[in-house]
Structure 1
Amino acid sequence: MKTIVRTDERILSSDIFDRDGRVARPDHGVWSEPGRDIPVYHRCGVLVVGGGPSGTAAAASAARAGADVALLERYNHLGGLSTGGLVIWIDRMTDWEGQLVIRGFAEELFDRLPADAVAGPSREDWGSQDSAKASHWAQRTAAYHGIVTWSPTIDPERLKLLSQEIVLERKVKLIYHSWAAVPIVQDGAVKGVVFESKEGRMAIMADVVVDATGDGDLFARAGAAFVNDIEEADVHHCMNTSWLFGGVDMGRWIDFKAGRPDAFSAFMARGREQLGLFERPFVSWRNDVALFMGPRQSGYSALDVDDLTAVEVRSHRAMAAHLDFFRAHAPGFEDAYLMLSAPQIGVRHARRLSGVGAVLRSQWPEGRALADEIGVSPAVSPKFPNISIPYGALVPQRLDGLLACGRHISCDRNSHGFMREIPQCWITGQAAGTAAALASQGRIAPRAVEVTALQTALQAQGVYLRAGADGAGPVAERPSLETANS
């Protein structure tokens, strides 16, 4: 185990636990699959693969821009890690001045969620440095560096339903229980995907495909370049399955944690000693529900089915062990019960696209609005200004017919620590969907989309862009991962 402490480059302190031992998989040989004709299930202008935060935003935004859209999702709901993954703490959407910079689709979601599905500070407190308010919200995942932020917790079931209804309102063809397997590539461009479902193997053809799989499954299998290096002194490469405990009193827990720091430290030390894998709870949207977004486990690959299985087994065992320990020793947890383990594993990182542009650590101090800016991320600490997200980070260096969005966009390993978060996924998804619609309607490659036209369309959808982001013409070459590392 190693403990990661809060710095100017990461918000949370956290324990990281190493993988357990596992015997290597034996070589069982191969079987040659016979060729066969595959029926075409659907044809559309824009196909979004993956209905997580970025994919939902992409599908909704492409349809709003007038495209004929299909959305393929392997689970029975939308929202991805923000719903099925129980990552119901939505990270900061305000900057350190209290300005809302994660807007557009994200703002629409919060405008439409029921009031009792959201817990967080009131708008007039965003950016407040009042010590009492900051102290209160620091215990509720909504204040950092003494500043109150808009980083609420939400009811995952309400977000599932709302996400679904928004895409259906916009006439998106929604396809659940279907897993994209192979991209269809012709002449260096993605033309659709082959997917698997209970009906067997079928294909969907599209003008533009948006890879919102989270792990870059499509662009990697289509031959696009990618990187997978990690920042070990961060949780961004760890995996776990989150869970909820019901029947708790989080008010009593917070009083214990904040009011008796020595007793809390002793509690945590005892938990690590007795359980090995150990995590503290976070607040949720209700006082009687506790959220556990760990223990975070390092050294596993999100692309290895045996590793995925091992993380699930360890996480579910940890859930039961935590219940016994917290019932016995944690104030407010005496009547806790197992409420829900996440149906989706919490993957933070697998691959990142090598794009025409990238979000880079070297850009943080300057905070300049890039010419192809399609969104703005709050900086990770008040030490830095807001960070520009370029359209080039969504565009593969060479592969055509495809855009990427979500946690696998083009960025370096430091920037991935915040670009993988749900609000940033909403932003890059909205940009990818809107750009895909423009490309489909114009019968052009995504890299040929006029940046000014894309920015105008995004601003019409409520996305926050800055005055200095005045791109002209198609996306230009931006600092890429290759040039940054050369």
Structure 2
Amino acid sequence: MKEVEMKKINEPSREIPITNETSVLVVGGGAAGLSAAIAARRMGCDVTLIEKYGFLGGTLTSVTLGSFCGIFTVTEDSIKPVVKGFQEEIIERLKMYNGVSEAKRWLKTASVPYDTTSFKRVADELVEEAGVQILYHTLAVSVIKEHNQVKGVIIENKNGRSAIMADVIIDASGDGDIISMAGGEYSVGDNGITQFPSSMFRMVNVNTEKLSSLSREEVTEYFQKAVNDGYPLPRVAGGIHLNPIDHVVHLNVTKVSNEGEVPINPLDTSQLTYAEMEGRKQVFLYERVLQKYVPGFEKARVIDIGPSIGIREARLIKGDYTLTSDDVLSCRKFEDAIACGAWPVEMHDSGNKTRWVWIEPGNFYTIPYQSLIPARLENVLMAGRNISATHEAQASVRVSAICMAMGQAAGIAAYLALSQENQVRHISVEKLQKLLLDNNAFLP
């Protein structure tokens, strides 16, 4: 088949205004970016945070995730937090609005259910109280680079195209957009094979008393029965989280792929568009199945689908150190540890069930500061699911609580870098660790 050459035009050169000059610029207001911005601001930095949506939280709100994962290390007898700091503060603030429930055990782990609308409220309050300058509905579209430093970011929003100049930049975009634009090295998944995304949703009028009596395994059996009866469910093992609001549940049960279980390319807009539409089709398929097969859902209906499909993996940025699955599963403790995690390696790959690889009960691993530093860039840090990690390690480190811990570390590291000519490699890691502990973070 003959290739058709893409038509092109020349975009005219133009001057654009510098609308902001800031000490620390955070790109992306998800779990990592939110905590990074507030941490840096509380250290006294001028901080600007840009976010593409009209609210903060990233996956926690735009996907309607419904449960904070990655907080605890779990044994048969105990549930102990290995993420504190900003995550703990968020939970305490949510309690003021009845927006969070007690930790709930499931499989070999535990998580904390929360209400997404309450989270938006709390996030707004915290950035406002801290004095973070925030720009909603704003996209980062290019970078201003000199040698190995990113001097600023070009943005677009309703005001048009402009530039924000910054001393230190934190890429918390989830996809590593800033580092990619700056020429940073990255891979996409495992040789281009990424984890399957999910469209998540909420249902109302659920008889939660009936539902609470069911085990996760029993729900899987009901889904499997539906498959046996001809319903084409792509996934039979998923998460159903009780919302703090009575008779409302969050569901993480869909699995979106191209035909033939070919993974979605999360960096291709046409594939993302397909994924959003396919995900919504799956939501209503699961609604019918839940109503027909699963006790407690007889009168339930979908009331909300996340504004965005849940992307688990895109760019994996090459950093000064790449966290590996061996590091995670052996519970390695790094000398330059800046965050901890105990979430299993959670693989959403081929097949109709999630594949879990568990770490030692009661133990945890650490994330080194080096994994937050992109190779060959001097004044840029990264936090969240785009840190330097292998495909397998990222399947553990990407969850929300661990992202918050990384964000808090990145925000304080940015503050320290300002006194080191913005060189993120020149900071004292010992001082970073002390400041994290002073701010109630958990470290070994």
TM-score > 0.5 by shorter chain: yes
Is 1:120 the counterpart of 2:102? The answer is: yes
Checking the alignment, whether the CA contact within 8 Å between 1:247 and 1:288 is kept in structure 2 is yes
2:23 aligned partner: 45
Is 1:328 the counterpart of 2:304? The answer is: no
TM-score (norm 1): 0.81
Is 1:196 the counterpart of 2:196? The answer is: no
1:152 aligned partner: 112
Specify whether residues 460 and 389 from structure 1 end up closer, same or farther in structure 2 by C-alpha distance, changes over 3 A only: same
TM-superposed CA distance for 1:262, in Å, is 9.6
TM-superposed CA distance for 1:231, in Å, is 9.1
Query: What do residues 154-182 of structure 1 show as CA deviations (whole Å, max 9, x unaligned)?
Result: 00111111112111111110110101111
Specify whether residues 260 and 214 from structure 1 end up closer, same or farther in structure 2 by C-alpha distance, changes over 3 A only: closer
2:414 aligned partner: 436
Counterparts in 2 of 1:50-61, with a 5 A limit? 50-61=28-39
Q: Report the Cα distance in structure 1 between the residues aligned to 2:250 and 2:378, rounded to whole angstroms.
A: 41
Query: What do residues 174-213 of structure 1 show as CA deviations (whole Å, max 9, x unaligned)?
Result: 1101011111111221111001101111110000010000
Is 1:205 the counterpart of 2:165? The answer is: yes
Specify whether residues 270 and 326 from structure 1 end up closer, same or farther in structure 2 by C-alpha distance, changes over 3 A only: farther
Match of 2:190 among 230, 240, 244: 230
2:65 aligned partner: 87
Match of 1:175 among 118, 135, 138: 135
Checking the alignment, whether the CA contact within 8 Å between 2:66 and 2:241 is kept in structure 1 is no
Specify whether residues 75 and 265 from structure 1 end up closer, same or farther in structure 2 by C-alpha distance, changes over 3 A only: closer
2:80 aligned partner: 99
Checking the alignment, whether the CA contact within 8 Å between 2:184 and 2:317 is kept in structure 1 is yes
Letter in 2 for 1:54: A
Checking the alignment, whether the CA contact within 8 Å between 2:420 and 2:426 is kept in structure 1 is no
Is 1:288 the counterpart of 2:247? The answer is: yes
Match of 1:240 among 177, 184, 198: 198
Checking the alignment, whether the CA contact within 8 Å between 1:231 and 1:413 is kept in structure 2 is no
TM-superposed CA distance for 1:366, in Å, is 4.4
Query: What do residues 229-262 of structure 1 show as CA deviations (whole Å, max 9, x unaligned)?
Result: 33999xx711122111111113323435579689
TM-superposed CA distance for 1:53, in Å, is 0.4
Query: What do residues 30-86 of structure 1 show as CA deviations (whole Å, max 9, x unaligned)?
Result: 222111101111010000000000000000000011110000001010011011211
TM-superposed CA distance for 1:25, in Å, is 11
TM-superposed CA distance for 1:419, in Å, is 0.7
Letter in 1 for 2:10: S
Checking the alignment, whether the CA contact within 8 Å between 1:327 and 1:333 is kept in structure 2 is yes
Checking the alignment, whether the CA contact within 8 Å between 1:79 and 1:159 is kept in structure 2 is yes
Q: Report the Cα distance in structure 1 between the residues aligned to 2:328 and 2:397, rounded to whole angstroms.
A: 13
2:429 aligned partner: 451
Please give the secondary structure, in 1, of the residue aligned with 2:231. helix
Is 1:143 the counterpart of 2:106? The answer is: yes
Specify whether residues 247 and 232 from structure 1 end up closer, same or farther in structure 2 by C-alpha distance, changes over 3 A only: farther
Q: Report the Cα distance in structure 2 between the residues aligned to 1:354 and 1:387, rounded to whole angstroms.
A: 20
1:407 aligned partner: 385
Q: Report the Cα distance in structure 2 between the residues aligned to 1:143 and 1:294, rounded to whole angstroms.
A: 15
Specify whether residues 242 and 266 from structure 1 end up closer, same or farther in structure 2 by C-alpha distance, changes over 3 A only: closer
Specify whether residues 159 and 231 from structure 1 end up closer, same or farther in structure 2 by C-alpha distance, changes over 3 A only: farther
Is 1:110 the counterpart of 2:91? The answer is: yes
TM-superposed CA distance for 1:316, in Å, is 1.2
Q: Percent identity?
A: 29
Checking the alignment, whether the CA contact within 8 Å between 1:246 and 1:339 is kept in structure 2 is yes
Q: Report the Cα distance in structure 2 between the residues aligned to 1:292 and 1:357, rounded to whole angstroms.
A: 35
Specify whether residues 367 and 331 from structure 1 end up closer, same or farther in structure 2 by C-alpha distance, changes over 3 A only: closer
TM-score (norm 2): 0.88
1:483 aligned partner: none
Q: Report the Cα distance in structure 1 between the residues aligned to 2:421 and 2:116, rounded to whole angstroms.
A: 38
Letter in 2 for 1:120: E
2:47 aligned partner: 69
1:464 aligned partner: 442
Q: Which moved more, 1:288-297 or 1:398-407?
A: 288-297
Unmatched segments (≥5 aa) in structure 1:
1-23, 122-136, 467-486
Q: Report the Cα distance in structure 2 between the residues aligned to 1:67 and 1:192, rounded to whole angstroms.
A: 16
1:319 aligned partner: 283
Q: Report the Cα distance in structure 2 between the residues aligned to 1:340 and 1:261, rounded to whole angstroms.
A: 21
Query: What do residues 111-136 of structure 1 show as CA deviations (whole Å, max 9, x unaligned)?
Result: 11126211234xxxxxxxxxxxxxxx
Please give the secondary structure, in 1, of the residue aligned with 2:213. helix
Please give the secondary structure, in 2, of the residue aligned with 1:240. coil
Checking the alignment, whether the CA contact within 8 Å between 1:358 and 1:390 is kept in structure 2 is no
Specify whether residues 152 and 443 from structure 1 end up closer, same or farther in structure 2 by C-alpha distance, changes over 3 A only: same
Please give the secondary structure, in 2, of the residue aligned with 1:239. coil
Please give the secondary structure, in 2, of the residue aligned with 1:389. strand
1:476 aligned partner: none
Specify whether residues 396 and 259 from structure 1 end up closer, same or farther in structure 2 by C-alpha distance, changes over 3 A only: closer
Query: What do residues 346-372 of structure 1 show as CA deviations (whole Å, max 9, x unaligned)?
Result: 111101111111322222454342121
Is 1:275 the counterpart of 2:232? The answer is: yes
Aligned CA RMSD, in angstroms, stands at: 2.5
